Amino acid sequence: MSMTPEELFRLKKEIKKAKRRQDTEKEAKLGMTSLMDIVAIIVIYLLKSYASDPVLITPIAEQKIPMSRMDMPIKEGVALYVSSRELIFNEEQLATLTDGELDANIVQGHVIRPLFEKLEEETEKSKQVFEARGEEWVGHIILIGDQALKFSTIVDVMYTAGRLEYSEYSFCIIQKG
């Protein structure tokens, strides 16, 4: 008995279907090597750029760092964060500010008392480290200020650090352009 082409087509189709059903499911393998390479390169690049910064500066909340055309990199030093609301040293709030000015009670003859005390402790430790290394200690303050910070406050911070033999000062800025 001969089959019509249509019947032959259906039969072939059914045979194929039956074969497919019999086949065991193959596990798909995801090629992870190339992805691993890309991710590893990104991580190494990010780690490198992270490690190349001598000082890590993370502006505090509501702080607008002044803008400037200066292109000099930041040298290693003691970072002081002064926003228009607070003075932070070593992640500790030492004073509060009102409209960019320090509370008059904590400033005695241009010396910011809480800052002087904390900075004195750190300076002593730093000096001991340098002495143990046989190197000369040079105090360097990095002032990370706010655009609206008053000149009188800047002078007070510099004067307080100056009393502790800090001789180098830098104003942190965001590069324009």
Partner 1 sequence: MARVRKNEELEVEEANVLPVMNIMFLLIPALLLAMEVASLAAIAVSPPKFAAAPSDKKEEEKKEEKPLKFKVFILSDGFRVSTAAQQEGAEAGKEQDSSGPSIPLAKPGADATDYERYDYAALEAKAKELKDKAKHETVVTISAENDIPMQVLISTMDAVRGTDCKLVTLTDDDEIPEECLFFQPIVEAGAG
Residue numbers of the site for partner 1 (CB under 8 A)? Answer: 32-33, 35-36, 39-40, 42-43, 46-47, 49-50, 53, 56-57, 65-75, 100, 110, 142, 145-152, 154-155, 158-159, 162, 167-175
Output 53 or 121, the one with its CB closest to partner 1.
53
Q: Least distance in Å: CB of 174 to partner 1?
A: 5
Q: CA 116, CA 118: separation in Å to the nearest integer?
A: 6
Q: CA 151, CA 101: separation in Å to the nearest integer?
A: 9
DSSP letter (8 states) at residue 143: E
Tokens 């228009």 locate to 84
Q: Least distance in Å: CB of 177 to partner 1?
A: 10
Output 3 or 47, the one with its CB closest to partner 1.
47
Query: How many C-beta atoms lie closer than 10 Å to residue 143's C-beta?
Result: 20
Q: What SS3 state is found at 98?
A: strand
Q: CA 81, CA 88: separation in Å to the nearest integer?
A: 5
Partnered with residue 144 across adjacent β-strands are 81
Tokens of 126: 């730093």
Q: Least distance in Å: CB of 102 to partner 1?
A: 11
Q: CA 115, CA 171: separation in Å to the nearest integer?
A: 18
Output 94 or 102, the one with its CB closest to partner 1.
102
Output 114 or 173, the one with its CB closest to partner 1.
173
Q: Least distance in Å: CB of 143 to partner 1?
A: 9
Q: Least distance in Å: CB of 53 to partner 1?
A: 7
Q: CA 121, CA 133: separation in Å to the nearest integer?
A: 19
Output 59 or 114, the one with its CB closest to partner 1.
59
